[in-house]
Chains A and B, each alone.
Chain A
Amino acid sequence: DQQVKQNSPSLSVQEGRISILNCDYTNSMFDYFLWYKKYPAEGPTFLISISSIKDKNEDGRFTVFLNKSAKHLSLHIVPSQPGDSAVYFCAGFKNYGGSQGNLIFGKGTKLSVKP
């Protein structure tokens, strides 16, 4: 059973436009969510996170929105740049005293930003 689902395996966007990456989760015990970005032959790099007590977190061009009632979160990138082309992973975990070893990742969405 997939607790974190990224239903779009790929997304193509024009440079300068908005990229919206979506993520759904089934485990209502998750109280913290993270987005990681991964380039080929490199490890994932932490991008942005959000606690379940918030519905929005912003960091420069990156904004994550959380809709707890829908068990849905999304990552918005505005404006998109060619260097943003990578695989983006959504992950959730339970921050009750556990560790991020309990991170549950989705399968990822490959974003391509075309010049």
Chain B
Amino acid sequence: GAGVSQTPSNKVTEKGKYVELRCDPISGHTALYWYRQSLGQGPEFLIYFQGTGAADDSGLPNDRFFAVRPEGSVSTLKIQRTERGDSAVYLCASSLNKVSPLHFGNGTRLTVT
């Protein structure tokens, strides 16, 4: 079946703008995760949803970052007042439950100029 889908695949925005990144998880997967990968680093946890609720948002770097999953399926990561340091690949992953292996999407490459 279809894997995790992330759109857009690339996003270039100016410093100070607002961006939204979308994730469509694998159908039936209740757990959804957002990670961020900067150049030369491994993926870094941002937030985890179990169903509609954010079960763990301890990885969000500051209050400019926010994520929602209103119907327990699609999720949107929102970044306000973007900064150049936000440039990274934002990875979404889903899993059948919280201890099953994560299935990652191909990521959204965000570039803030």
Report which A residues bind B (CB closer than 8 A).
4, 34, 36, 41-46, 49, 89, 91, 95, 98-108
Report which B residues bind A (CB closer than 8 A).
4, 31, 33, 40-45, 47-48, 50, 55-56, 59, 91, 93, 95, 98-107
Interface of A: prevailing SS: mixed
Chosen A-B contacts, 30 in total, with CB atoms closer than 8 Å, are A4-B42, A36-B104, A43-B4, A43-B91, A43-B93, A43-B105, A43-B106, A44-B104, A46-B101, A46-B102, A46-B103, A89-B42, A98-B56, A98-B98, A99-B48, A99-B50, A99-B55, A99-B56, A99-B98, A99-B99, A100-B33, A100-B98, A100-B99, A100-B100, A101-B33, A101-B55, A101-B56, A101-B59, A105-B43, A108-B42
Q: In the assembled complex, which residues on chain A have CB atoms less than 8 Å from the CB atom of B95?
A: 100
Q: In the complex the two chains form, is B106's CB within 8 Å of A42's CB?
A: yes
Q: In the complex the two chains form, is A43's CB within 8 Å of B31's CB?
A: no
How many A-B residue contacts, CB cutoff 8 Å? Answer: 65
Q: In the assembled complex, which residues on chain A have CB atoms less than 8 Å from the CB atom of B101?
A: 34, 46, 49, 100
Q: In the complex the two chains form, is B45's CB within 8 Å of A43's CB?
A: no
